[in-house]
Structure 1
Amino acid sequence: MMRLKAYLKEGLNVAAVMGMGDAIAQLLFDKKPFDELDAGRTLRFGILGLVFVGPALRRWYLLLESRVPETYSPMRRGVTKMLVDQTLFAPPFTMAMSFLVPLANGEPIDRIRQRILDSYPSILVRNYMLWPAAQMLNFRFVPLPYQVLYAQFIALVWNCYLSLVLNS
């Protein structure tokens, strides 16, 4: 029961931040008036945070914590976690989001496939412009219970970008 509660807490935090990211993307970048905000799109993006992103990140960070030796210096531990994160987690996670966001918005599979072919490489390149430094700080300085939350505040900017690209 405690584990479920922890996953739910992470999921709710991530859902809120992802929803804010989508709303900001619509208001600031799509330049929609507040009364034309696509609340359904924001809700769907947030629900992905609740059921997929939050639980996936929590599980991933726990796995990293358990697999990277505590005997490493704090700096080596942070670098190792970041490298493993950006090598093993970032590419499939980014692919999953590139699939799930348009799927949640009702796009047909063939269109999603084409969207992934068109946008995934540039999304992944931009991922590597932001996340290695952010994750290095996260894994080096942020205590494990707050790592998902820290990542989601960085992700507020990232979610604006993802929402723009994946909802266009």
Structure 2
Amino acid sequence: MEASGDIAIPVSPLVADVIASGLLWAIGDVVAQKLDVQSDGIDSRRLARQAVFGAFILAPLARSWYLLLSVMLPEASLPSTIAKVALDQTVSDDAVLAPVPIWAVTILSLMYVSLSVMQGAGVQHGLSVVRARIRDTMKANWCVWPLVQAVNLTFVPVRHQLLIVNLVSIPWSAYLSIKANRSGGGPEGISFPHGEHSPLASQRSPPKKGGFVEVVPMHDARPKKSDWEDAL
């Protein structure tokens, strides 16, 4: 007989995934910012954007994707594992946005676009970031995720596969942040376009002697190879 003080609060698997994904992406971003020697404290807006992406974009889509893989390829066999990893990680060499539902390139592209929108730069700028960076992003992705997903999709129950992905994403995003900092990457990897309405159209340096303030131009808004890295 249960104690009278015990109260069971049912939580749907989707809600649990949303909460866990948002929390773990937030933790990953905190780690990344702490490891960035150029970071001055924690950027709460950046943290919020990463948490929103993890919770409300990644979580429901990833949950559906892993359920779909388990239905398409239910067998626990080597050929089934190879097929799952291939679907999860492979993309046509000519694709910019995957023309078929290949998971890795689709979710990475969606990440760039959604972060661009949340920063106020818009969809078109996000798509330009995708076109410039997706191939290099996928090359880095393939150094880590095929092996992780081979183990995850073979041995981990479907209901926990997203959790494993989010846990691995913590050191993964921290590593990318360090690499971006060493190569001179920006703090978040999404550059605003120039223009008078841009939130970051210019930066001002501290006042010089004589009271004059020097206006320092923003960095080149064209995407750089390293800029994508700590956005993950």
Q: Name the counterpart of 1:158.
A: 172
Q: Which residue of 2 aligns with 1:104?
A: 118
- The unaligned stretches of length 5 or more in structure 1 are none
Aligned residues: 161
Aligned to 2:56: 51
Identify the residue that residue 150 of structure 2 maps to in structure 1.
Answer: 136
Greater relative contact order (CA < 8 Å, ≥ 6 in sequence): 1
RMSD of aligned residue pairs (Cα, Å): 2.2
Match of residue 77, structure 1, among 61, 66, 80: 80
- 1:30-74 CA distance string (max 9 Å, x none): 5424xx21112101210111111011111100000011042xx53
Distance 1:136 1:29 in 2: 31
CA distance in structure 2 between the aligned counterparts of 1:27 and 1:40, rounded to whole angstroms: 15
| Higher CA-based Rg | 2
Q: 1:22, 1:107 → 2: CA distance?
A: 20
* CA apart distance, 1:129: 1.4
Distance 1:58 1:69 in 2: 16
> What SS is found at the alignment partner of 1:32?
coil
Q: Distance in 2 between matches of 1:113 and 1:93?
A: 13
Q: Deviations over 1:126-158 (max 9, x none)?
A: 111111111001011212221111111111133
- Paired with 2:29 and 2:148, the residues of 1 have a C-alpha distance of 20
- How much identity, in percent, do the aligned residues show? 22
- Is the CA contact 1:25–1:164 (under 8 Å) kept in the aligned structure 2? no
Unaligned stretches of 5+ residues in structure 2: 1-10, 91-101, 178-186, 192-226, 228-232
CA distance in 1, matches of 2:27, 2:190: 16
Tell me, yes or no, if structure 1 residue 115 matches structure 2 residue 129: yes
Amino acid in structure 1 at the alignment position of 2:189: V
Contact 1:15/1:48, CA 8 A, preserved across alignment: yes
Q: Give, in whole Å, the separation in 1 of the partners of 2:114 and 2:37.
A: 21
